[in-house]
Amino acid sequence: MAPQIPATFVFCPSGHDSPILKIDEKGMTYKGTLIEDAGEAHKAFIEVMKLMRNGVHR
């Protein structure tokens, strides 16, 4: 079996100069802060998905 390569997902919506959400082997980082609470991580993820879907510029 081939070794697993860690995956990193980075989200940078239109209008943002840098990624606002990163998901990697360490967890979820939102606006530079690692989120440890599952409820807060879910809220951050939904907010970013809405930004990505709607193309909101901030």
Domains: count for the chain? 1
Range of the domain at 25: 9-54
- Per-residue pLDDT of 3-55, as tens digits, reads 888 899 999 888 888 899 999 999 999 999 999 999 999 999 999 998 888 76
* Sheet-wide strand order for 9-11: 9-11, 21-24, 27-30, 33-35
Place 58 in a pLDDT band, splitting at 50, 70 and 90.
very low
- Per-residue pLDDT of 33-46, as tens digits, reads 999 999 999 999 99
- Computed over its alpha carbons, how large is the radius of gyration of the chain? 13
- Looking at beta carbons, which pairs linking 48-52 to residues 24 or more positions away fall under 8 Å? 48/11, 48/13, 48/20, 48/21, 51/13, 51/20, 52/11, 52/13
In a domain, 2, yes or no: no
In a domain, 4, yes or no: no
In a domain, 37, yes or no: yes
